[in-house]
C-alpha cells in the first residue's frame, strides 16, 4: 500500500513527519507506554492535512509505510490504508488550534490506572507539583492543572463532543484521560508534546503513589 501525495505537498514534508512519528513511537514503546499495538500518534503536515499512524501496527517498529496521510475530517488521502480508529480525536485538535502540530496518545499502566481511579470525579486536579510548570502556560506549582477524565466509548463523536463541551465552557485543556484507556496530549512541536506527555505521566504516577502510601 503506497502513499500518493496530493499536488503541492512535498514528499520531504511528509517523510519528515513520518520519521519524527516513528522515532517518538519507538521511544515511547520502549518505555512500555504503547502495549499490544495500542496508542496512536500524528503530526500536522499543512493547514489541511496530517500524518497519522495506520491502525494496528506495533508502535516500537514503525517505518514510513506505517504512517499515512489524512485530511482534517479524518479521511484517508492518497492511500487505501485505514487510519487509527481514534483519528477524530487527533483532527479535532488540529481543527480547533491552528498552532498545534503534534498529538500523542498512549496507554501506559500509570495513565490507565489513574483514569480508573479518578473516573468518578471526572477530573484530576494537580496542585503543588513543581513539574506542572512543564505544561505550557503554567508558571508556578501554585497553579491548578485540571486533567478531565472522560468516559470511554468506541463511538468517537461522543468523545469529540465531550472535549468540545469542556473547551466551550472556557476551561483550559492541555490533555485528557479516557477512563480505562489512556491519555491524549498535544503541542506546537514534538518536543513540547513529549514534554507534556512525560510530565503528565510523572504527575499521575506521583498522585497514585500518594494514594497508595496514605491508605
Ligand atoms: Zn487508544
Q: What is the pLDDT of residue 58?
A: 87
Cα-to-centroid distance, 214 and ligand 1 (Å) = 31
Task: Return d(Cα 175, Cα 183) in angstroms, integer.
Answer: 7
Lowest mean pLDDT among 79-83, 88-92, 119-123: 79-83
Distance 140 CA to ligand 1 centre (A): 31
Rounded Cα gap, residues 78 and 71, in angstroms = 10
Q: What percent of the chain has pLDDT over 70?
A: 99
**Confidence (pLDDT) at 37:** 85
126 Cα to the center of ligand 1, angstroms: 23
- pLDDT score of 1 more than 80: no
CA of 49 to the centre of ligand 1 (A): 21
Residue 138 pLDDT grade (very low, low, confident, very high; cuts 50, 70, 90)? confident
Q: How far is the CA of 119 from the centre of ligand 1 (A)?
A: 16
CA–centroid distance, 181 to ligand 1, in Å, is 6
60 versus 28: which is more confidently predicted? 28
Amino acid at each position: 500500500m503506497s502513499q500518493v501525495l496530493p499536488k503541492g505537498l512535498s514528499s520531504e514534508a511528509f517523510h519528515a513527519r513520518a520519521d519524527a512519528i516513528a522515532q517518538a513511537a519507538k521511544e515511547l514503546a520502549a518505555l512500555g507506554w504503547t502495549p499490544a499495538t495500542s496508542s496512536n500518534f500524528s503530526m500536522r503536515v499543512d493547514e489541511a492535512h496530517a500524518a497519522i499512524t495506520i491502525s494496528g501496527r506495533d508502535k516500537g517498529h514503525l517505518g514510513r509505510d506505517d504512517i499515512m496521510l489524512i485530511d482534517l475530517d479524518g479521511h484517508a488521502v492518497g492511500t487505501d490504508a485505514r487510519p487509527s480508529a481514534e483519528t477524530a480525536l487527533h483532527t479535532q485538535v488540529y481543527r480547533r488550534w491552528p498552532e498545534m502540530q503534534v498529538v500523542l496518545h498512549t496507554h501506559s499502566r500509570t495513565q490507565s490506572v489513574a483514569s480508573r481511579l479518578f473516573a468518578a470525579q471526572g477530573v484530576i486536579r494537580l496542585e503543588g507539583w513543581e513539574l506542572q510548570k512543564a505544561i505550557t502556560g503554567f508558571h508556578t506549582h501554585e497553579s491548578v492543572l485540571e486533567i478531565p477524565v472522560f468516559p470511554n466509548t468506541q463511538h468517537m463523536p461522543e468523545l469529540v463532543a465531550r472535549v468540545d463541551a469542556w473547551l466551550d465552557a472556557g476551561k483550559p485543556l492541555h490533555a485528557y484521560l479516557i477512563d480505562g484507556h489512556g491519555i491524549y496530549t498535544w503541542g506546537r512541536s514534538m518536543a513540547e508534546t513529549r514534554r507534556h506527555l512525560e510530565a503528565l505521566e510523572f504527575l499521575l504516577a506521583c498522585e497514585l503513589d500518594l494514594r497508595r502510601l496514605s491508605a
